[in-house]
Structure 1
Amino acid sequence: MIKTVHKFFSLGSFEKEEQWLNAMSQKGYQLVHVGWCSYTFLEGEPGKYLYRLELLEEVPEHPESAAYIRFMEETGAEMVASYMRWVYFRKKAKDGAFDLYSDIRSKIGHYRRIAGLWWVLLFVELIALAINVAGTVNYVITNGRLLNPNFFLSLFCLLLLGFVFCIGLPVLKKLRQMKKEQRVRE
């Protein structure tokens, strides 16, 4: 039986997404496809797979990413789905623990990629806000009224900017903690 679940996970909550996918696996739902806020599962053996997510430096079709995915498959992992630069790996639970990172440096690299994506989103949102504020100011100067479409778009962009800012804070906090841990270990 095929089951599709619509669920939102923010950029900084990939670990919660992993936990949820692993809980779904425990219930007998194995991931087969991922879309924007959409997960498709095939009913199967409960707890058969363990899932891990990774944000690649390039899209999965890029030669470097493809080489990395082949390397992961040689270790017994399988790329079951991808969405943009995110890849979803799984490994049979009977094979034991499944971790994508062998050291703190590679974990830091992963969080840096996520933080980099967050900074891009934040920058784009700031530009959109600036454009709409400029449009609002221009409208006020030429028409003498504040209420106009750019004013409402400015408010929307401000709210979206706040949302984007909030979803990135946990990533930055975790990155800072891992860097501190790396310094202690060295």
Structure 2
Amino acid sequence: MEKVVKKFFIQTSADKEEKWLNDMARKGYLLKSATLGKYTFVQTDKKYKIRLAYLPKDKKDFIHFIEEGDVQYIAEVGNWGYFIKEVNSFDDNFEIYSDIDSKIEQKNRVLKFLGIMFLCMLPLFFATASPIILNDTISDTLKIVIFIIYAILILLYVFMILKLFNQIKKLKQERDIQE
């Protein structure tokens, strides 16, 4: 029996998404497919762990390398790869990024992507917002709505970038403590 769940996670919430997917696995639901905001599960008696990995440029090589460890690639959503591995117990360890430096490197790749997207969005904002605001044929209400939408998008990007900076900072502090 399939179960479809619609749920949305932002780019910087991979840890929360991964925890939720593993909670679903504990309840007997195996991730079958994932798209943006839509997850399809099948019921199973087997135990699985699910990991997300921000895919590097050489996706095929990376996926092949991960699959060599009895790991199954499920899907890619927004450059995030979804991987599952059958385990004997839900307490079994299955990590794709097992050391702090690789976790930092992954978060830096996400940060770079978001930074580029943010920098690309700003000129579009000014290029489209300026003519709209200066246009006398568009109602003031519509101008305000468009401005609010752009402001929310900009604030969302700023929030995600700051959140990533904070996550990277905590990982670096953890690494310093371990050394």
Whether the 8 Å CA contact 2:56–2:62 is kept in 1: the answer is: no
**Distance in 2 between the 1:37 and 1:145 partners?**
33
Q: In the aligned structure 1, how far is the partner of 2:39 from the partner of 2:137?
A: 49
User: Is the alpha carbon distance of 1:135 and 1:75 closer, same or farther for their aligned partners in structure 2, counting shifts above 3 Å?
Assistant: same
1:149–1:71 distance in 2 versus 1, CA, 3 Å: same
Structure 2 CA distance for aligned equivalents of residues 12 and 38 of structure 1:
17
Describe the SS at the equivalent of 1:32: strand
The offset of 1:153, in angstroms, is: 2.0
> Any unmatched runs of 5+ in structure 2?
none
CA contact (8 A) 1:128 1:157 kept: no
Q: Which residue of 1 aligns with 2:175?
A: 182
1:125 is aligned to 121
Counterpart of 1:82 in structure 2 is: 76
Write out per-residue CA displacement over residues 94-118 of structure 1, whole angstroms, 9 at most, x where no aligned residue.
Answer: 1731011232211111101111122
Task: Give a deviation string over 1:27-62, Cα, whole Å, max 9, x none.
Answer: 11100101110000011116x10000011123xxxx
Matched, 1:44 2:49: no
Mark the CA change 1:50 to 1:136 in structure 2 (over 3 Å): closer, same or farther.
same
Task: Answer whether contact 1:28 1:44 (CA < 8 A) is retained.
Answer: yes
User: Aligned letter for 1:86?
Assistant: W
Aligned partners of 1:101 and 1:107 also within 8 Å: yes
Which segments of structure 1 move beyond 6 Å, counting only runs of 4 or more?
none
CA distance in 1, matches of 2:161, 2:55: 18
Aligned length: 177
Aligned in 2, Cα 1:66/1:135: closer, same or farther, shift over 3 Å? same
| Distance in 2 between residues matched to 1:144 and 1:9, nearest whole Å | 38
Q: Secondary structure at the match of 1:20?
A: helix
1:3 is paired with a residue whose SS is strand
Name 1:13's counterpart in structure 2.
13
Counterpart Cα distance in 2 of 1:110 and 1:169: 16
What is the RMSD of the two structures over their aligned residues, measured on CA atoms? 2.3
Counterpart in the other structure of 1:156: 149
Instruction: Find the aligned partners of 1:41 and 1:69 in 2 and give their Cα distance.
Output: 21
Aligned counterpart, 1:31:
31
Write the deviation string for residues 116-138 of structure 1: whole angstroms up to 9, x where unpaired. 12212322332232123321454
Q: TM-score, normalised on structure 1?
A: 0.84
Relative to structure 1, the CA distance from residue 42 to residue 145 in structure 2 (aligned partners, 3 Å threshold; closer, same or farther) is closer
Aligned to 2:52: 53
The equivalent of 1:61 in structure 2 is none
Read off the aligned partner of 1:31 and give its amino acid letter: L
